[in-house]
Chains A and B, each alone.
Chain A
Amino acid sequence: MRIIETKNLVKVYTGSTVEVRAVDSVDLVIEQGEFTAIVGPSGSGKTTLLNMVGGLDQPTSGEIIVDNVDITQLNQKQLVDFRLKNIGFVFQSYNLIPVLTAAENVSFIMELQGRVKSEIDTRTKEILSDVGLGDRLTSRPFQLSGGQQQRVAVARAMASRPKFIIADEPTANLDSKTTEKLLDMMLELNEKENITFLFSTHDQRVVNKARRVIVLEDGRIVSDERK
Chain B
Amino acid sequence: MLTKLAWKNIWRNRTRSGVVLGAVAIGLFAGTYLSAFMNGWMLGSVQADIDTNLSHIQISDTAFSANNDIGAYFLQTNVAEKLANTPSLKEISFRLILNGMLSSANNSVGMTANGVVPEDEQRVSTIWKMIPDSLGAFLPEDTRAAIVISEKTAEKLKVRLRSKIVFSFQTAAGEMQTMAFRVCGIFKTSNSAFDEGQAFVRYDDIFPLTALPENSAHKAYIRVADLETCEKITPELKTLFPDLSVQNWKELNPMFAMSLEYMDLYAMIIIGIFLFALAFGIINTMLMAILERTREIGMLAAIGMNRSRIFRMIMFETVFLTLLGSVAGIALAIAALIPSLHSGIDLTFMMSDSFEDYGFSSIVYPVISAEMFVEIVILVILTGILAAIYPARKALKLNPIEAIRS
Q: Show the binding face of A for B, using Cβ within 8 Å.
A: 51, 54, 56-57, 77, 80-81, 83-85, 87-89, 91, 93, 95, 97-100, 108-109, 111-112, 156
Contact = CB atoms under 8 A, between A and B. Distances in A.
Interface stretch (B80-88, B300-308, B381-389): B300-308
Given A80-B304, A80-B307, A83-B302, A56 B9 contact: no
Nearest to A79: B304
Interface string B61-95: 00000000000000000000000000000000000
A112 B296 CA distance: 16
B5 interface: yes
A51 B400 CA distance: 10
B5 A83 contact: no
B1 A111 contact: yes
Nearest to A101: B8
Size bin of chain B's contact surface:
20 to 34
B12 interface: yes
Given A57-B401, A97-B5, A112 B299 contact: no
A112 B309 contact: yes
B3 to A, nearest CB: 11
B390 interface: no
Contacts of A99: 5, 8-9, 11-12
Contacts of B218: none
Nearest to B10: A99
B299 A84 contact: no
B56 interface: no
Contacts of A51: 401
Given A95-B295, A95-B296, A77 B306 contact: yes
Nearest to B12: A99
Contacts of B9: 99
Contacts of A100: 5, 8
10 contacts: A77-B306, A77-B307, A81-B304, A89-B299, A89-B302, A89-B303, A91-B299, A95-B295, A97-B5, A111-B1
B404 interface: yes
A118 B182 CA distance: 92
Nearest to B299: A95
Nearest to A83: B304
Contact of A80 (B5, B295, B296, B305): B305
Given A91-B299, A95-B295, A100-B8, A81 B306 contact: yes
Contacts, number: 58
Which of B12, B302, B305 neighbours the largest number of chain A CB atoms within 10 Å of its CB?
B302
A153 B137 CA distance: 87
Interface string B357-371: 000000000000000
A109 B303 contact: yes
A91 B404 contact: yes
A80 B306 contact: yes
B12 A84 contact: no
A151 to B, nearest CB: 17
Contacts of A84: 303-306
Interface in B219-258: none
A95 B404 contact: yes
A97 B296 contact: yes
A85 to B, nearest CB: 7
A109 B401 contact: no
A18 B26 CA distance: 57
Q: Which 5 A-B pairs have the closest CB atoms?
A: A84-B304, A99-B8, A95-B299, A111-B1, A83-B304
Given A56-B400, A80-B304, A98-B12, 10 more contacts: A80-B306, A81-B306, A88-B303, A91-B299, A91-B404, A99-B5, A99-B12, A100-B5, A112-B305, A156-B303
A100 B11 CA distance: 12
Nearest to A168: B404
A93 B295 CA distance: 10
Nearest to B400: A56
B14 to A, nearest CB: 12
A85 B1 CA distance: 17
A156 B305 CA distance: 14
A146 B239 CA distance: 86
A107 to B, nearest CB: 8
A91 B299 CA distance: 9
A88 B11 CA distance: 28
A93 B294 CA distance: 14
Contacts of B300: 97
Contacts of A85: 304
Contacts of A88: 303
A117 to B, nearest CB: 10
Interface in B1-31: 1, 5, 8-9, 11-12
Contacts of B299: 89, 91, 95
**Which one of B11, B309, B401 has the greatest number of beta carbons of chain A within 10 Å?**
B401
Contacts of B400: 56
B321 to A, nearest CB: 15
Contacts of A93: 295
Contacts of A87: 304
